[in-house]
A and B are shown apart, each in its own frame.
Chain A
Amino acid sequence: MTLDADILLVHRALKRDVDGRSAFHQLVVAHQAWLVRYLTHLLGRQSDAEDLAQEVFVRAYLALDKYHGLGSFRGWIRTIATRLAFNQRRDAATRRRYEDLAPPPAGPDPVDLGLVERQAVLMVLDDLPYAYREILVLRYVEEMSVQDIAQVLDLGGSAAKMRLSRARDRFWEVYSQKVAAPVAEAPQSHGSQP
């Protein structure tokens, strides 16, 4: 959906009448897929992501008058989502420390060539501190500039650069242990088993 189309829908939604709620419904439909995907990458489970995405949209609706159309609507709700995901992750961290290590279940499409690679990346992300996971998703999935990331995470530019650099280093470290090394050690031939 274009920026202009979003802004028009926001203006209609601000009336908070029946037509406004219909406009807001259209905004939700337009943005639900990427938002749930983004939150799934942050939280690890689609069911958690859907619950939180609902919360994000409700908060967005209640704060619609604070969206002035200066940036994209997507960017605005991504900021809300990033903050809520951080809070949720922090609250759940103690409860799930030992339960959440399993990779997330496969998506709805089992014939997916990128599935194995995607699960490998998610498995590595699961092993990283949340702050590293968050910044890697913002940079390499959401394709945001370091400057924009700094704004969303409420960091200075150099702090964001440093966090990204450390996150990258840690990612490769875990990737080489969990993904690259097991692949290299795997038996070359299936016929060698007794």
Chain B
Amino acid sequence: MTDPSKDDAPLFELFRGLRDQVVVVVAGFADRVVRRVELLVAADRRLRAPSLETVVVSTAAEVLDLASDLLMPPEAVVPDTPRTTPAGPDDPE
């Protein structure tokens, strides 16, 4: 605390009751805080890291896609449609 000025002194005296007030916090408060923290951390992990099941399913789908591409006969492959450029106002007639 810095040196209280003379303006400060009566208020420090008046507020003493608030400074000395003993607050009884509801039982289990810290447990609830830690439980909330644990839930948040668990939810964050679930969001950040995909589950093993997700990884296996997505890898299996990619392998199946690749296999079907490889097994497809060449004539079944549709060539890319040539990209047409829309005529703009500057195009010569």
Which residues does A use to contact B, with CB under 8 Å?
A: 16, 21, 24-25, 28-29, 32-34, 36-37, 40-41, 46, 50, 53-54, 57-58, 61-62, 107-109, 114-115, 117-118, 121-122, 136-137, 139-141, 143-147, 165, 168, 171
Contact = CB atoms under 8 A, between A and B. Distances in A.
Interface of A is mostly: helix
B32 interface: yes
Q: Chain B interface mostly helix, strand, loop or mixed? A: helix
Nearest to B39: A58
The 3 closest A-B pairs by CB, nearest first: A114-B17, A140-B15, A118-B17
A21 B37 contact: yes
Contacts of B31: 25
A143 B21 CA distance: 14
Given A33-B23, A36-B23, A122-B18, 12 more contacts: A25-B31, A33-B25, A40-B23, A54-B29, A57-B33, A58-B33, A107-B22, A107-B23, A108-B24, A115-B17, A141-B18, A143-B12
B23 A118 contact: no
